[in-house]
Structure 1
Amino acid sequence: MRSLRALFTCRSLRSLLAVLACLLWWQPAWSCTTGACVTVGPRLASVDIAKSALLNALYGNLLGGNLSLSVADWNALAQGDVGLLGFLNALQARTAVGTPDQALAANATLAQLAAALQASAQADANVALANAYASLASQLAFAGGTIRMADLLQLSVPAASLAGARLNALDLLAGQLQLFNHRNLLTTPAPVGVSASALGLGGVLNGIQLYSQVIEPPVMVCGPSGTQFHSAAIRIKLKLDLVALSPSTGLLTAIPGVLGASVRIANLDVYASVARAEGAIDGIDAIGRLVTVRATPGVADLYLGTFSDSVFFNRSRTLNAAIDLGYGNIGTVNINGAVVALEARSAVIGQAPLGGSASFTGPFPQSRTFGSSSAVLASALSSLVSNLDIRMTPSLGLLNAVVLPVLKTVVAGALSPVLSNVLSGVLDPVLKLLGIGIGEAVVTVNGIAQSCTVSGTVYNDANRNGRFDAGESGTRQALWAKLVAGNAVSAVVSVDPNTGAYSFPSVPMGSYSLLLDVASGAGTAPAGPPGWAGTEAPTLLRTVTISTADLGSQNFGLFGDNTEFTLVKTVDKTTAAPGEVLTYTLNFKNNGAAGVNNLKIEDSVPAYTAFLDAGCGAMPAGVSSCAVSARPDARQAGLVQWTINGMLGAGAGGTVILRVTVN
């Protein structure tokens, strides 16, 4: 008994159904793509109680709400990493889109993102990280705005190439919250209190109020040479309640006419505006596992005094210290019994730092530091003190001219150690927890993403020589090519029945089994059409290894004794709405010189439709009966089979019918 399967299967969209006919399938040109995944921002090896307090305060401030993760949760994030492809697949499910690329572009809440990251961590069996994300998801419900991951994570390589790419979990969270702040919190930020004792500054500060706003969100990349990336640009305000300072006033009382003097310094407002650090991928050697990157730290401007919040936190406003920076009240001065307010201001406008280039040789992730935060902070402290401008309000009249120069020396001497503690113990750690360094940039290459094309032809080997010869074409059978990694199918593509061409456009590096199958499901055993045998690759199985070049000519030769038959499938509508009925007609014909007894025709219910009924149409003389011998249950998908008994003569043909309902 000869068996013939339908030439085509129906891949229907809900609202668009193509008429299926013998059309030449256009095959695009594909090539290998290679990219590196790069982020910029300091990576924490571990989180202690002090850092945990800062992280909760800082990230809660970015959200405009409260955040309270444990030290263990923060450590799980700092030490964990996230598989990018697994995360995008989980996000795809939660945003109800069709592909990982569409998930990147979808609007998602922070709670949805945390849930997707939790699912990815669970799939990696990272229990601690999954628990941290679960806690985050429950706490982020109040954050009602959305972000698009595509605005944070910019990919210029196929999503399939990300199979081995991973990002640090805390870096990814920081980027998401910075993007959320920039997109959703457009007003002056509310302050958040930070414990001075938790930072080890209890002897210097009574309390800290922290304000932060993202002026520009970061960009993480997975891309080829030339791809650019950058950190966030941010503005920070620290309102400091000092443990009151009472510096020695011997220099003041030495001034003629000053009979008594005292100084009390109790308050200080410190501001930082840090531009983005930026860089670019200069070169990628996938074989040698070498990535070359150049980067430049961001410019950091530091201020002491007071800005109007409406100016300092205006993202579209460029700060001008000469115009915008006012004197801030830092304490009092008592001269000869007259108590006046002590006010001060200072500004350090950062100089463009020098950039550099570095090579990353793996294993990945691997980090390199460009610039020096400690050197820039030391220089900034010196400049803040030397640029200090003070005044007394109200004026002491004629005494001002002789008192102010000496008073500046007294105040500068008292403030210098305080500012040193504030810059190194508060401001620098805060910025580094946001992935920003003052005068330095820490760049991390997280991995190399590469994918290549695997392609070939499944041909009717008419002369049975095991070679794809000129004039040979497809088998006119419904076939699928599959790539199997381990024991699971990693990709499936349909084989064009007319030309025999197939192509996997984005295959990550690695070794695979490449096989031919008559079904598109998850089966990993090769199978050819009944009545057909393999010639080239006789077992219908190949072993392929993807390294740095496209892999073509992965051909399968088939020879069968039923090639004289044709089967053409058409549909009665080009478009259909859900609930409408589609009627498929399968026209078969024996083009051979001899008759054939007992024929079977098989087809599958197309995607996005459900089985309604099937039957036999016109039959030629010589056919004694036609019946539907296999069918799925009503409203289900599955195989449909027609059995045609009797003689199908040379040149004779007929039709069978399949009706389905659009889901």
Structure 2
Amino acid sequence: MLALLHRLAIDIRANVATLFAAMAPILIGVAALAVDEASLHLEKRRLQSAADLAAIYAAGDPANAAERVERALLDAGYDPLPPTVLVQTGHYTPDPNMVPADRFAPDTGPANAARVTLRHPGRVHFASIFGLQSPTLGVSATASATPMAAWSIGSRLASLNDGLLNVILGGLLGGEISLSLMDYDQIVGLDVGLLDFLDALALELGLTAGTYSDLLDTQVSLGDIGVALASAAGNNAVLLELAGLIDDSITVDMARLIVADGLANLALGTSAAVEASVDALGLLTAAALVADGERHVSLDLGLNVAGLTGIDVDLVIGEPPQGGWFTLSGEGAYLRTAQTRLRLDISLLENDADLGLLSVRLPVYVELAPAEAHLASLTCPPGRPDLGRATVAARPGVLRLAVGHTAQPSFRDTRRPLAIEKTTILSLLGGLVRVTAYADVSMSQTSPVPLHFTAADVVAGKVYTARTATPLSGLTTSLLSDLELDLEIIGINLLGGLLSGLLGTVSALIAPVIGVLDHVLVAILDVLGIGIGEVDVALHGFDCRNAALVQ
């Protein structure tokens, strides 16, 4: 027996069969677990695909995200739905400087993204033999669709207005402009494609690579902007002539003119990516208004008005504090106009025998704080710009009218409040008798005015205006009716009785100014594309891009 056992122990025949028989249960178990693992992996991929599609579909309409997710899951074959379906909407910021996990902020507006989290028990076939429980599969997907709108503020068309456009544009552009009515007719209402203009500007600057964001981060001369506008308008002869008259030393920070939210990642030359047009003359005027440094224009208005001998006008344009004139952006964006100051030196002549022929000068100051507009809401189904809708909350800038004196440096310094002091408007006998005047009134719109745009408004080129409750005529009437007139007599008491009616005569002299002041202010600011107590907003196009996975 011992010999037989020894012989069996050293016999190596059929070892492989023996080992296989011994390992077979383990191999079968491993194979069963591999089948289950592959099955779970396949099921998780299917669940992930369903979450991806549901997130993309939900991001297209965050307001109805839950209903859209349910519909997407049912279409994917999940009936009944997975036990856990978590839908979150919020704001996604595609900022490469942020940690990817922080780019999606749930329950934060404006909602432009949706996150879908699914948990579903996995199905196993053999694991239960070994006493293993079915695992729970969990997946998550985040998609974002940021509809955008191309819009601008203060976009009222300029007016030729008896030569005022030539004088004001010439002062702002640093050249002598002489547009005729025929010239003006060739450029008024002339639209150019936004990206066609930017492509032409890049070519003018010699930029052949990069993005529109790179272009809009540069300082550009007004002359280059004029040439690019002419090129984008098919080499328009009038715009080319204007471009040749512009002072090339005047530069524009393009970020103050066009905000690049929706253009940041678009390469130069991809002009078909965004369909938006802008008014060529309006863009050129806006570029002049936001040009580097403060612009100063002096005007001499030869008006034939009874009781008035003339009006001298000083115009100062200050840079806007932030924002731009035009933007392609999503919900929540802001635009602001430039600050504007006017000083009108109105000369009056009285033929009353009691006064003799005296010259009376009434200095009127006008200050328009920057108006602002906010893209409060935007709905634009992916791929359907014809269904786009937007609401812009616009707030006209504070308008201040004053009669008084301010130093020239203070008037031109738009970074500081304008200080108004009582001033002499009439002087007799070498200053022994003086009439001083002072008034200061203002109006503002305390709450934003909602302006509602549709795709049809874009096609029609409509411009909507937000107005303050107080009309201009009421404000100028209030200014001059509240005018504080004081008679100052030095040394000769007898003059008090002789000149007792002087204040009433001066008041009568000033009466015709009310209507003239309204007319002059409207005329000057219409040329600049600015309204008194108003702000104009135009929507140029919807960019209804499809949702895409971001996480």
Give the C-alpha shift of residue 550 in structure 1. 4.7
**Residue deviations 1:411-436 (CA, integer Å, cap 9, x gap):** 223212223212x2111221232222
**Residue deviations 1:44-88 (CA, integer Å, cap 9, x gap):** 3x845xx15111111222245432222233333331112101001
Which one of 372, 380, 393 corresponds to residue 286 of structure 1?
Answer: 380
Corresponding residue of 1:108: 220
Corresponding residue of 1:96: 206
Q: Give yes or no for the alignment of 1:311 onto 2:311.
A: no
Kept in 2: contact 1:299–1:438 (CA 8 A): no
Corresponding residue of 2:453: 360
Q: Give yes or no for the alignment of 1:175 onto 2:280.
A: no
What is the identity, as a one-letter code, of the residue corresponding to 1:213? V
What is the identity, as a one-letter code, of the residue corresponding to 2:277? R
- The verdict on how the C-alpha distance between 1:407 and 1:117 changes in structure 2, with shifts beyond 3 A counting, is same
Q: Give yes or no for the alignment of 1:270 onto 2:369.
A: no
TM-score normalised by structure 1 residue count:
0.54
Q: Give yes or no for the alignment of 1:438 onto 2:532.
A: yes
Structure having the higher helix fraction is 2
Give the C-alpha shift of residue 193 in structure 1. 2.8
Corresponding residue of 1:155: 260
Matches within 5 A, 1:209-220: 209-217=312-320, 219-220=325-326
Give the C-alpha shift of residue 150 in structure 1. 1.8
Distance 2:297 2:431 in 1: 37
Corresponding residue of 2:179: 69
Give the C-alpha shift of residue 443 in structure 1. 1.5
Distance 1:396 1:62 in 2: 49
Corresponding residue of 1:131: 237
Corresponding residue of 1:79: 189
- The verdict on how the C-alpha distance between 1:102 and 1:72 changes in structure 2, with shifts beyond 3 A counting, is farther
Give the C-alpha shift of residue 220 in structure 1. 2.3
Give the C-alpha shift of residue 203 in structure 1. 4.6
Distance 2:167 2:327 in 1: 28
Kept in 1: contact 2:437–2:486 (CA 8 A): yes
Distance 1:399 1:219 in 2: 60
Corresponding residue of 2:45: none
Worse-matched range after superposition: 389-398 or 233-242: 389-398
Count of aligned residue pairs for this structure pair: 390
Distance 2:441 2:499 in 1: 21
Q: Give yes or no for the alignment of 1:228 onto 2:334.
A: yes
Corresponding residue of 1:33: 146
Distance 2:329 2:239 in 1: 27
Kept in 2: contact 1:205–1:240 (CA 8 A): yes
Structure having the higher strand fraction is 1
Give the C-alpha shift of residue 261 in structure 1. 5.1
Give the C-alpha shift of residue 108 in structure 1. 1.6
Distance 2:308 2:215 in 1: 46
What is the identity, as a one-letter code, of the residue corresponding to 2:417? T
Corresponding residue of 1:488: none
- The verdict on how the C-alpha distance between 1:290 and 1:151 changes in structure 2, with shifts beyond 3 A counting, is same
Corresponding residue of 2:439: 346
- The verdict on how the C-alpha distance between 1:220 and 1:416 changes in structure 2, with shifts beyond 3 A counting, is farther
What is the identity, as a one-letter code, of the residue corresponding to 1:167? V
What is the identity, as a one-letter code, of the residue corresponding to 2:402? Y
Kept in 1: contact 2:365–2:403 (CA 8 A): yes
Gaps of 5+ in 2: 1-141, 382-386
Give the C-alpha shift of residue 226 in structure 1. 0.6
Distance 2:498 2:326 in 1: 53
Kept in 2: contact 1:298–1:353 (CA 8 A): no
Matches within 5 A, 1:389-428: 389-392=484-487, 395=490, 397-398=492-493, 406-422=501-517, 424-428=518-522
Give the C-alpha shift of residue 102 in structure 1. 2.0
Distance 2:508 2:155 in 1: 32
Kept in 2: contact 1:216–1:232 (CA 8 A): yes
Corresponding residue of 2:481: 386
Distance 2:524 2:191 in 1: 22
Give the C-alpha shift of residue 204 in structure 1. 5.6
Q: Report the 3-state secondary structure (helix = DSSP H, G, I; strand = E; otherwise coil) of the residue aligned with 1:320.
A: coil
Distance 2:191 2:424 in 1: 44
What is the identity, as a one-letter code, of the residue corresponding to 1:55? L
What is the identity, as a one-letter code, of the residue corresponding to 1:56? N
Distance 2:276 2:446 in 1: 31
Corresponding residue of 1:208: 311
Distance 2:505 2:447 in 1: 35
Gaps of 5+ in 1: 1-28, 250-259, 453-548, 553-663
Give the C-alpha shift of residue 116 in structure 1. 0.8
What is the identity, as a one-letter code, of the residue corresponding to 1:176? A
- The verdict on how the C-alpha distance between 1:392 and 1:293 changes in structure 2, with shifts beyond 3 A counting, is same
- The verdict on how the C-alpha distance between 1:162 and 1:401 changes in structure 2, with shifts beyond 3 A counting, is farther
Kept in 2: contact 1:281–1:291 (CA 8 A): yes
**Residue deviations 1:232-285 (CA, integer Å, cap 9, x gap):** 21111122334x2336x8xxxxxxxxxx55574542222111101112011122
Give the C-alpha shift of residue 191 in structure 1. 2.4
Distance 1:165 1:289 in 2: 14
Kept in 2: contact 1:208–1:240 (CA 8 A): yes
What is the aligned-residue RMSD (CA, Å)?
Answer: 3.2
Q: Report the 3-state secondary structure (helix = DSSP H, G, I; strand = E; otherwise coil) of the residue aligned with 1:211.
A: strand
Give the C-alpha shift of residue 403 in structure 1. 7.8
Distance 1:295 1:96 in 2: 38
Kept in 2: contact 1:114–1:133 (CA 8 A): yes
Distance 1:268 1:54 in 2: 22
TM-score normalised by structure 2 residue count:
0.64
What is the identity, as a one-letter code, of the residue corresponding to 1:210? V
Q: Report the 3-state secondary structure (helix = DSSP H, G, I; strand = E; otherwise coil) of the residue aligned with 1:33.
A: coil
Distance 2:527 2:143 in 1: 41
**Residue deviations 1:491-533 (CA, integer Å, cap 9, x gap):** xxxxxxxxxxxxxxxxxxxxxxxxxxxxxxxxxxxxxxxxxxx
Q: Report the 3-state secondary structure (helix = DSSP H, G, I; strand = E; otherwise coil) of the residue aligned with 1:135.
A: helix
Kept in 2: contact 1:52–1:71 (CA 8 A): no
Kept in 1: contact 2:159–2:526 (CA 8 A): no
Q: Report the 3-state secondary structure (helix = DSSP H, G, I; strand = E; otherwise coil) of the residue aligned with 1:298.
A: coil
- The verdict on how the C-alpha distance between 1:208 and 1:172 changes in structure 2, with shifts beyond 3 A counting, is same
Kept in 1: contact 2:371–2:395 (CA 8 A): yes
Kept in 1: contact 2:435–2:503 (CA 8 A): no
Kept in 1: contact 2:173–2:250 (CA 8 A): no
Kept in 2: contact 1:271–1:304 (CA 8 A): yes
